[in-house]
Amino acid sequence: MTKEKKSIYQHAGEWGVPLGLYMAGAAAASIYADVLPFLSILFFFMVLAIPFLVYRYQRYKFIEDDGFTDYAALWMMGILLYIFGTTLASFFVYLILQYARPDFMYVQGQTVIETYSKIPEMRDSEALHVIKRMVDERLMPSPIEMVFNAFWFITSMGSLLSAITAWIARRQIKRRPLPPPPPPEQ
């Protein structure tokens, strides 16, 4: 009895969970990078690795289907991976921003104000005045606004990156040559 192959939707749903946890880890590294500076380097490399992870999943599906997966199917699978992964990561990021670091945006705004104030060209800039006003009047984005903005950005960019990784994932499968047939018996 042959094992039934899973559809791209099943694979994307299953593989979206580890991808989402990975994305949540990357986002947590970014959020806590001001407390532990080495996390900014970790965040950088984790974000760079995301398209490679998606490629790996697409390539696995292509090989599983013996090279008969269409480009459009691999691209759709990549888009779904980004959507499912970002949905899961968004949940964890919301929890962090809402409960663990509710002042995160204001701390970042204050850091920008302090940095811009030290730069002579920026001291009287409109950008500095706008950020000061946003911090003073508590107009910084809420955690849910940040999560939704990040969700749309990541899924949009993921859709574009999936087009590239799907194209690369469809490269020819290197098949091992068949062994020579045994010599005829005489």
Q: Is residue 165 part of a domain?
A: yes
Do residues 88 and 23 lie in contact, with contact meaning Cβ atoms separated by under 8 Å? yes
Q: Is residue 177 part of a domain?
A: no
Q: Is residue 176 part of a domain?
A: no
H-only helix segments in the chain: 8-31, 38-64, 71-95, 104-118, 126-136, 143-169
Domain of residue 15, residue span: 8-169
In percent, the amount of the chain with pLDDT more than 90 equals 81
Counting the structural domains of the chain, the total is: 1
* Tens-place pLDDT, residues 142-179: 999 999 999 999 999 999 999 999 999 998 777 666 67
Average pLDDT, the chain: 93
Confidence band of 87 (pLDDT split at 50, 70, 90): very high
Q: Is residue 180 part of a domain?
A: no
Confidence band of 13 (pLDDT split at 50, 70, 90): very high
